Chain A
Amino acid sequence: MTHKALSSSLFDPDLLKQAVWEAFKKLTPQQQWKNPVMFVVYLGSLLTTLLWLQALAGDSEEPAGFILTITIWLWFTVLFANFAEAAAEGRSKAQAAFLRTAKRDIAAKKLDDPRYGSNYTKIAGSNLVKGDVVLIEAGDFVPGDGDVIEGVASVDESAITGESAPVIRESGGDFSSVTGGTRVLSDWLVVRISANPGETFLDRMISMVEGAKRQKTPNEIALTILLVALTLVFLMATATLLPFSLYSVETSGAGRPISITVLVALLVCLIPTTIGGLLSAIGVAGIGRMMQKNVIATSGRAVEAAGDVDVLLLDKTGTITLGNRQAAAFIPAKGISEKQLADAAQLASLTDETPEGRSIVVLAKQKFGLRERDVQSLGATFIHFSAQTRMSGVNLQGRQIRKGAEDAIKQYVTEQGGRFPDEIQKMVVDVARRGSTPLVVADGKQALGVIELKDIVKGGIKERFIELRQMGIKTIMITGDNRLTAAAIAAEAGVDDFLAEATPEAKLALIRQHQADGRLVAMTGDGTNDAPALAQADVAVAMNSGTQAAKEAGNMVDLDSNPTKLIEIVETGKQMLMTRGALTTFSVANDVAKYFAIIPAAFATTYPALNVLNVMGLATPASAILSAVIFNALIIIALIPLALKGIKYRPLGAEKLLQNNLLVYGVGGLLVPFIGIKAIDLVLVTMNLV
Chain B
Amino acid sequence: MNETGFLQIFIYLLALLLLSKPLGAYMARVYQDESIVANTWFAVIERGLYRLCGIQAEQDMRWQQYAGALLVFNLLGLLVVYALQTCQDLLPLNPQALPAISTDSALNTAISFATNTNWQGYAGEASMSYLTQMLGLTVQNFLSAASGMAVLVALIRGFSRRNTNSIGNFWVDMTRSTLYILLPLSLLLAVVLVGQGVVQTFDRYATVKLQEPQTYSAPALDADGHAVLDAQGQPLTQTQQSQEQTLALGPAASQIAIKQLGTNGGGFFNANSAHPYENPTPLSNFLEMLAILLIPAALCHTFGFLVGDSRQGWTLLAAMTLVFVALIFVTVPAEQHGNPALTSLGVDQAASNQQPGGNMEGKEARLGIVNSALWAVATTAASNGSVNAMHDSFTPIGGMIPMWLIQLGEVIFGGVGSGLYGMLVFALVAVFIAGLMIGRTPEYLGKKIEAFEMQMAAVIILIPPLLVLGGTALAVMTEAGKASILNPGAHGFSEVLYALSSAGNNNGSAFAGLSANVPFYNYLLGLAMLVSRYGLMIPVLAIAGSLAAKKHVPVGPGTLPTHTPLFAVLLIITVLMVGALTFVPALALGPIVEQLHMHAHP
Contact = CB atoms under 8 A, between A and B. Distances in A.
B469 interface: yes
The winner among B439, B473, B588 for most chain A CB atoms within 10 A is B439
B488 A251 contact: yes
Contact of A610 (B439, B470, B477, B588): B588
Nearest to B586: A244
A588 B577 contact: yes
For the side of the interface on B, what is the size category?
Answer: 35 or more
B589 A229 contact: no
B592 interface: yes
Interface string A437-473: 0000000000000000000000000000000011111
B351 to A, nearest CB: 28
B600 A609 contact: yes
A222 B473 contact: no
B553 A248 contact: no
B439 A252 contact: no
A659 B566 CA distance: 7
Contact residues of B: prevailing secondary structure: helix
A519 interface: yes
Nearest to A581: B436
A575 B489 CA distance: 51
Contacts of A197: none
The winner among B469, B470, B577 for most chain A CB atoms within 10 A is B469
A665 interface: yes
B191 interface: no
B551 A654 contact: no
A610 B585 contact: no
A299 interface: no
B429 A244 contact: no
Interface in B496-516: none
A181 interface: no
Contacts of A240: 469-470, 472-473, 586
A25 B552 CA distance: 46
B441 A519 contact: no
B159 to A, nearest CB: 14
A119 interface: no
Interface string A460-499: 0000000001111110000000000000000000000000
A233 B593 contact: no
Contacts of A589: 577
Interface string A582-625: 10110011011001000100010001011011000000000000
A310 B556 contact: yes
B72 interface: no
B585 A304 contact: no
A251 B585 contact: no
A658 B581 contact: no
Contact of B437 (A246, A472, A657): A657
A308 interface: yes
A304 B442 CA distance: 12
B437 A658 contact: yes
Contacts of A304: 441
Contact of B439 (A270, A474, A517, A575): A575
The winner among B446, B465, B552, B600 for most chain A CB atoms within 10 A is B465
A233 B465 contact: yes
B581 A233 contact: yes
A252 B461 CA distance: 33
B57 interface: no
Interface in B547-575: 551-554, 556-561, 564, 566, 570, 573
A246 B477 contact: yes
A607 B582 contact: no
Nearest to A514: B554
A576 B438 CA distance: 10
A6 interface: no
A518 B446 contact: yes
Interface string B318-347: 000000000000000000000000000000
A585 B454 CA distance: 16
B100 interface: no
Given A240-B472, A251-B492, A661-B438, A222 B449 contact: yes
Contacts of B573: 666
Given A222-B454, A238-B585, A518-B446, A577 B440 contact: yes
A547 B582 CA distance: 57
A232 interface: yes
A553 to B, nearest CB: 23
Contact of B458 (A226, A241, A585): A226
Given A241-B585, A578-B438, A662-B437, A519 B477 contact: no
B584 interface: yes
A173 interface: no
A474 B559 CA distance: 13
A649 interface: yes
A48 B222 CA distance: 58
Contacts of A657: 437-439
Contacts of A238: 585
A237 B560 contact: no
Interface in B578-602: 578, 580-586, 588-589, 592-593, 596-597, 600
B493 interface: yes
Contacts of B454: 222-223, 225-226
Interface in A243-260: 243-248, 251-252
Nearest to A234: B581
A307 B441 contact: yes
B466 interface: yes
A234 B583 CA distance: 10
Contacts of B564: 655
A252 B489 contact: yes
Contacts of B446: 518
Interface in A647-668: 649, 653-655, 657-659, 661-662, 665-666
B103 interface: no
A581 B482 CA distance: 44
B436 A580 contact: yes
A252 B490 contact: yes
Given A247-B476, A581-B433, A662 B570 contact: yes
Contacts of A661: 437-438
The winner among B492, B589, B600 for most chain A CB atoms within 10 A is B589
A248 B440 contact: no
Contacts of A383: none
A654 B561 contact: yes
Given A233-B581, A588-B577, A610-B593, A244 B493 contact: yes
A603 B588 contact: yes
A127 interface: no
B465 A578 contact: no
A221 interface: yes
Contacts of B466: 236
A252 B491 CA distance: 11
Nearest to B592: A610
Contacts of A649: 439
A661 B586 CA distance: 31
Contacts of A678: none
B557 A469 contact: yes
B582 A233 contact: yes
A518 B162 CA distance: 11
A218 B438 contact: no
Interface in B450-474: 450-451, 453-455, 457-458, 461-462, 465-466, 469-470, 472-474
Contacts of B553: 518-519
B473 A244 contact: yes
B426 interface: no
8 contacts: A234-B582, A241-B585, A242-B473, A243-B474, A585-B433, A607-B490, A649-B439, A662-B566
Given A233-B582, A244-B585, A607-B596, 7 more contacts: A223-B436, A232-B462, A247-B476, A251-B489, A251-B490, A518-B551, A655-B566
Interface of B: 429, 432-441, 446, 449-451, 453-455, 457-458, 461-462, 465-466, 469-470, 472-474, 476-477, 482, 488-490, 492-493, 551-554, 556-561, 564, 566, 570, 573, 577-578, 580-586, 588-589, 592-593, 596-597, 600
